[in-house]
C-alpha cells in the first residue's frame, strides 16, 4: 500500500503561514462583529449596521477576483502582500473613525484586504500538496478558526469594556504584520501558472460589487420610490456582471460546479442571516454586555471547525449527501435559535442552539471546497478558487443587505427589532431548505 511522503520543511512553513492567515481573518471578523453593537451605540449608527456588514463582503468580491487573477499570472506572493497592506490601512481607518460613515470606509478596506487571502490559500493547497492531502489541508486551514472562536469574542468584549472599541482595530495590526512576515517567504517558490493572458474579470467584479451595494442600499432607503429604483438597477447591474464571474448555470443549479457554487452562496447567506444578528439580539433584546454578546456566538464558530474536521477524517464519496446533511443540521440550529427573540430566554440556550447550526455549516463546507478544487486545472487554480470565494462573498453580502434593511426599518419606524430579527431568521431557514434541494445536483469533476 502506497504511503505519502512526509511534509518538507517548506511545506510545513507554508502550512503554518496559511493557517495563521486564516486565524488573522477569523480573529478580525469575530472581534469586530462582537464590537459592532457598541460601535453603533456610541456613533449612533443603527441605520448603517447592516451596511457595515455588507460592504466588508462587497469589497471581498472585488479583492478575491483580483487576487485570484494575480496569483495565476504573477504567483501568490505579490497579491498576498498587497492584501495585508490594504487590510492594515483599513484597521487604522476604523480605529480613528469619527463617525459611523468612516467605520464603513474602514470595513471596505478591511474586506478588500482579507478578500485576497482565501483564494490564495486554496490555490496554494492545490499546488503545493498532493491530492490525497488536500482534504486534510482544508481542514487544517479551518483550524485557524479555533483560537479566534474561543478567545476573540471574549477578548474583544473585554477590550471594548476596558479600553474602548477603537483598540479592537488597533490591536490586530501587529498580528497582521507578523503573519505577512512569516507567510510570504515560502510563497515565493510558486510562480505564475497561467499560460494565456485572458481578459481581466476585475471590471466585472467591481460592477458586481457596485450592483449588489446599490441593491442593498435600495433595500434600506426610506423613500419607497427611490428604494424601488435603486433595488431594480442594482440587481440588473449585479446579475449582468455575475453572469461573467460565476460558472454558467449557477442560478439553475446546473449539475456539477455550478451547483456547488450555488450551495456555497446559499450556505453563507443562511449562516450570516443568524450569526451576524445574534449579538444584536443579545444587546437590544436581552441587554447583554459586549463580553456576553461575543460569548453567545463562540459555540457556532468552534462547532463549524469541528464539523470540518469530522468530514476531513471521514472523507465522503458522495459530496451531495454530505452537503444536504449539513444544510439539514444548520436549519435545525436556526429553528432552535428562534426563542432568543423572547426576552426571558436564557442566552446559554442560544449558545447551545447556534452551536448546532455551526456544526451543520462545518459538515458542508469541506465537501464543497474539495469538490470545487477538483475542477481546478493547471493554470486555473486562482480562477476556480476565486469563483467559490465569490459565492461566499455574494451570500454574505446579499444577506447582510437584506438583514440590515430589516434592522434599519426597525430603527426608523415603530416596527420592533424583534420582528426584524424574526424575518432574518425565517429567511435564513428558508434558504437552508433551498440548499437541501440544490445539493442533490453536486458532482465532482471526473
Profile the chain (446 residues) by mean pLDDT over runs of 10 residues: 63 86 87 85 76 79 86 85 94 92 92 87 82 76 73 83 90 91 83 70 89 82 84 92 89 90 94 89 86 79 83 79 95 96 93 95 89 76 79 80 80 82 94 94 83
CATH number, residue 400: 1.20.1250.20
Q: What pLDDT is stored for residue 5 in this prediction?
A: 64
For residues 362 and 384, give the distance between their C-alpha atoms in angstroms, rounded to a whole number: 21
Q: What is the CA radius of gyration of the chain?
A: 20
Residues 6+ positions from 378 with CB-CB distance below 8 Å:
193
Question: Has residue 207 been placed in a domain?
Answer: yes
Helix (H) or strand (E) holding 419: helix 417-438
The Cα-based distances of 354 to 30, 287, 293, 340 in angstroms read 15, 19, 13, 10
Question: Has residue 85 been placed in a domain?
Answer: yes
For residues 69 and 54, give the distance between their C-alpha atoms in angstroms, rounded to a whole number: 23
Task: State the Cα torsion 306-307-312-313 to the nearest 10°.
Answer: 70
Question: Has residue 191 been placed in a domain?
Answer: no
Nearest to 10, CA basis, from 1, 20, 18: 18
Task: Name the DSSP class of 86.
Answer: H
Q: Which three cell numbers stand for residue 136?
A: 486534510
What's the helix, strand, coil split of the chain in %, to 5? 80, 0, 20
Interval 272-313: pLDDT, tens: 889 888 988 998 899 887 768 777 887 887 888 888 878 877
Residue 240: domain span: 9-186+200-441
Question: Has residue 412 been placed in a domain?
Answer: yes
pTM comes to 0.77
Question: Has residue 446 been placed in a domain?
Answer: no
Task: Name the DSSP class of 97.
Answer: -
Residue 54 contacts residue 214 (beta carbons within 8 Å): no
Task: Name the DSSP class of 144.
Answer: G
Give the ranges where 374-416 is alpha helix by DSSP (H): 381-412
Question: Has residue 2 been placed in a domain?
Answer: no
Q: What pLDDT is stored for residue 429 in this prediction?
A: 96
Q: What pLDDT is stored for residue 85 in this prediction?
A: 94
Residue 332: how many CB atoms within 10 A of its CB? 17
Question: Has residue 3 been placed in a domain?
Answer: no
Q: What pLDDT is stored for residue 372 in this prediction?
A: 86
For residues 268 and 304, give the distance between their C-alpha atoms in angstroms, rounded to a whole number: 12
- Split into its structural domains, the chain has a count of 1
Question: Has residue 343 been placed in a domain?
Answer: yes
Amino acid at each position: 500500500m502506497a504511503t505519502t511522503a512526509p511534509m518538507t520543511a517548506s511545506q510545513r512553513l507554508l502550512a503554518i503561514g496559511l493557517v495563521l492567515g486564516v486565524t488573522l481573518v477569523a480573529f478580525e471578523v469575530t472581534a469586530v462583529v462582537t464590537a459592532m453593537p457598541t460601535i453603533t451605540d456610541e456613533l449612533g449608527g443603527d441605520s448603517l449596521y447592516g451596511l457595515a456588514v455588507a460592504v466588508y463582503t462587497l469589497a471581498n468580491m472585488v479583492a478575491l477576483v483580483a487576487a485570484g487573477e494575480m496569483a495565476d499570472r504573477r504567483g501568490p506572493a505579490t497579491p498576498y502582500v498587497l492584501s495585508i497592506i490594504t487590510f492594515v490601512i483599513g484597521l487604522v481607518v476604523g480605529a480613528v473613525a469619527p463617525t459611523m460613515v468612516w467605520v464603513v470606509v474602514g470595513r471596505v478596506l478591511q474586506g478588500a484586504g482579507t478578500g485576497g487571502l482565501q483564494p490564495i490559500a486554496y490555490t496554494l493547497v492545490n499546488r503545493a500538496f498532493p491530492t490525497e492531502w488536500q482534504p486534510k489541508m482544508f481542514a487544517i486551514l479551518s483550524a485557524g478558526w479555533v483560537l479566534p472562536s474561543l478567545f476573540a469574542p471574549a477578548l474583544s468584549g473585554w477590550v471594548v469594556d476596558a479600553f474602548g472599541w477603537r483598540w479592537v482595530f488597533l490591536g490586530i495590526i501587529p498580528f497582521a504584520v507578523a503573519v505577512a512576515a512569516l507567510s510570504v517567504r515560502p510563497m515565493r517558490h510558486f510562480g505564475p501558472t497561467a499560460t494565456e493572458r485572458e481578459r481581466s474579470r476585475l471590471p466585472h467584479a467591481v460592477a458586481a460589487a457596485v450592483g449588489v451595494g446599490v441593491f442593498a442600499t435600495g433595500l434600506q432607503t426610506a423613500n419607497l420610490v427611490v428604494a424601488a429604483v435603486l433595488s431594480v438597477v442594482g440587481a440588473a447591474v449585479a446579475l449582468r456582471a455575475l453572469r461573467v464571474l460565476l460558472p454558467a448555470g449557477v442560478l439553475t443549479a446546473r449539475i456539477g460546479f455550478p451547483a456547488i457554487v450555488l450551495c456555497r452562496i446559499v450556505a453563507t447567506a443562511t449562516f450570516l442571516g443568524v450569526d451576524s444578528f445574534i449579538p444584536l439580539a443579545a444587546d437590544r433584546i436581552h441587554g447583554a454586555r459586549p463580553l456576553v454578546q461575543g460569548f453567545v456566538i463562540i459555540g457556532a464558530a468552534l462547532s463549524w471547525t469541528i464539523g470540518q474536521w469530522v468530514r476531513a477524517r471521514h472523507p465522503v464519496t458522495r459530496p451531495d449527501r454530505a452537503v444536504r446533511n449539513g444544510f439539514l443540521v444548520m436549519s435545525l440550529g436556526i429553528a432552535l435559535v428562534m426563542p432568543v427573540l423572547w426576552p426571558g430566554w436564557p442566552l446559554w440556550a442560544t449558545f447551545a442552539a447556534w452551536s448546532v447550526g455551526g456544526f451543520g455549516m462545518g459538515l458542508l463546507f469541506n465537501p464543497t471546497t474539495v469538490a470545487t478544487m477538483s475542477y481546478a486545472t493547471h493554470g486555473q487554480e486562482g480562477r476556480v478558487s476565486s469563483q467559490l470565494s465569490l459565492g461566499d462573498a455574494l451570500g454574505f453580502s446579499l444577506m447582510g443587505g437584506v438583514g440590515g434593511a430589516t434592522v434599519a426599518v426597525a430603527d426608523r419606524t415603530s416596527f420592533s427589532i424583534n420582528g426584524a430579527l424574526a424575518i432574518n431568521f425565517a429567511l435564513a431557514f428558508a434558504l437552508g431548505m433551498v440548499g437541501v434541494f440544490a445539493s442533490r445536483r453536486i458532482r465532482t469533476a471526473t
